[in-house]
Amino acid sequence: MTKLAIMGAMEEEIEPLLSYFENVNTVEFANNKYYEVNYDGLEIVIAYSKIGKVFASLTAATMIEKFGCDTLLFSGVAGGINPELKIGDLIIADKLCQHDLDITAFGHPNGYVPGGKVFIQTSEELRTIAKKVALENNLKVIEGTIATGDQFVHSTERKEFIQKTFDADALEMEGASVAVVCDALNIPYFILRAISDTADMDAGFDFDEFLKSSAKNSADYLIKIVKEL
Ligand code: ADE
């Protein structure tokens, strides 16, 4: 690895990451800010994309193609589906899918378009490092499927659809689009989330309440992983 990209979707998701670094150089590009830092000789670019799949794809592609990053880590929050995941708990994606991608009208499965695939796998090497770090630090981390869509899910009906259709453990709004970009550009990537809500009728309230603390849980773990790269 020569240059590392670290992404979040919201400012609150990268603030706790940036707080670890001094001497931050800010570069503006394509209506966004990219924060360049150096950690023990490793060049890192940090950015938050803004919410949703389109902004996340733009940011991931920019970090790779313009800034020359060759590994990408994502840190942020998610809605929990797996009942084992409580607010604040950590999940790393072994694979991701787009729960709102729907051309079932033409006989295709949910989450599929021709030329793509329903599930995209994350880097096994990065997950192995992350699991070792979790073990060493006594952190409970679940490895599972993350479903992504351009919707803030706040109903048991939609949550159940996503659970039944994709057997997903958590859901959010960026991960799978980052996965598509990294997979296409052959860049190893890792998606980490901490639970901020359980995507049901209380989700909006819980998200506001727990965004910052869960984002910090995710960021603190991510920094421990960076130290091992
Ligand atoms: N990120 C965190 N909670 C979420 C939810 N309920 N829906 C979509 N993205 C989320």
152 lines ligand 1 (CB under 6 A): yes
Whether 220 is catalytic is no
The confidence score (pLDDT) of residue 57 equals: 98
The confidence score (pLDDT) of residue 1 equals: 78
User: Which range of residues forms the domain containing residue 201?
Assistant: 3-226
153 lines ligand 1 (CB under 6 A): yes
**CATH number for the domain including 191?**
3.40.50.1580
The domain tally of the chain equals 1
User: Atom 1, ligand 1: which residue's CA is nearest?
Assistant: 78
Q: What is the number of the ligand 1 atom nearest to the C-alpha of 77?
A: 2
Give the C-alpha separation, 53 to 99, whole Å.
12
78 lines ligand 1 (CB under 6 A): yes
Q: Which two tokens stand for residue 58?
A: 């733009």
Give the C-alpha separation, 229 to 219, whole Å.
15
113 C-alpha vs ligand 1 centroid, how far in Å?
Answer: 24
79 lines ligand 1 (CB under 6 A): yes
ipTM: 0.99
Of the residues 172, 183, 197, 200, only one is catalytic, namely 197
Q: How far is CA 104 from the centre of its chain?
A: 26
Q: Which two tokens stand for residue 140?
A: 């409970």
The confidence score (pLDDT) of residue 70 equals: 98
141 lines ligand 1 (CB under 6 A): no
Give the C-alpha separation, 173 to 150, whole Å.
5
Report the candidate in 198, 72, 91, 177 with the shortest Cα–Cα distance to residue 139.
Answer: 91
60 C-alpha vs ligand 1 centroid, how far in Å?
Answer: 20
List the pLDDT tens digit at each of the 229 positions of the chain.
Answer: 799 999 999 999 999 999 999 999 999 999 999 999 999 999 999 999 999 999 999 999 999 999 999 999 999 999 999 999 999 999 999 999 999 999 999 999 999 999 999 999 999 999 999 999 999 999 999 999 999 999 999 999 999 999 999 999 999 999 999 999 999 999 999 999 999 999 999 999 999 999 999 999 999 999 999 999 9
Whether 172 is catalytic is no
